Structures are given as C-alpha cells and as structure tokens.
Amino acid sequence: DSGVTQTPKHLITATGQRVTLRCSPRSGDLSVYWYQQSLDQGLQFLIQYYNGEERAKGNILERFSAQQFPDLHSELNLSSLELGDSALYFCASSVVVGTSEQFFGPGTRLTVL
C-alpha cells in the first residue's frame, strides 16, 4: 500500500459525459501528478500540482482539467468524454518536486461507452 488513494476504482460512463476522479496523496506529500495509461500503452503525464499550484503540464487535453485543494487532495475533471478517453488514470504523489520518489495510487479505470 503506497498511501495514495484514488476513487472511484472503476467508472463506466457514456460519451459526452463529464466525470471527476479524486486522489488523496500520502500524508506529508505536497506534490500530486496525474497520468493516463491507455490500453497497452505507456504512462502519459498529464499534469502536476505542488501545494495547490499547477507546476507542469504534459499531454493534457483542453477537455481535461485538474486542481489541488488546500487539504492537498486533487481532482481530475474529464469532460465531453470520447471513446478514446477510456484508460487507467493514475495519481502519484511525492514530498517535493525535485528528485523525490513518486508513489502511485491504485488507479481509476475509466470506461467510456
């Protein structure tokens, strides 16, 4: 158990809908990262937050947005969902931004029908 929690574990929805994925980092970790892993693909970095502020953006679509709240939990919002958005979404956390090791949550499996 990494100490990072993600909810829900599974999510099935329809095209055009909007969903919110939630992540709680390890106690004491200030940095949160979101990744997308499509079927049989590697991890794609989406976005990173540090202590409530956006730090870096990767291959995140405009239909996706995220935020980190004062209690350090983070939410990833996915809107106007398309079939291709079906994937595993991982959240990771680390103490700080630099060389700190990242610890991964169990992931949320999103299926868009």
Partner 1 sequence: KNEVEQSPQNLTAQEGEFITINCSYSVGISALHWLQQHPGGGIVSLFMLSSGKKKHGRLIATINIQEKHSSLHITASHPRDSAVYICAVKGSNYQLIWGAGTKLIIKP
Which DSSP letter does residue 25 get? P
Nearer to partner 1, 40 or 71 (CB): 40
> Nearer to partner 1 by C-beta: 72 or 92?
92
Q: Does residue 98 touch partner 1 according to CB under 8 A?
A: yes
How many angstroms separate the CA atoms of 3 and 25, rounded? 7
Q: Give the residue among 37, 19, 10, 41 at the shortest CA–CA distance from 92.
A: 37
Contacts of partner 1 in 21-80 (CB under 8 A): 33, 37, 42-45, 48, 56, 58
Contact region with partner 1 (CB under 8 A), list: 19-27, 63-71, 74-82, 100-108: 100-108
Cross-strand partners of 12: 111
6 binds partner 1 (CB under 8 A): no
Question: For residues 54 and 64, is the Cβ–Cβ distance under 8 A?
Answer: no
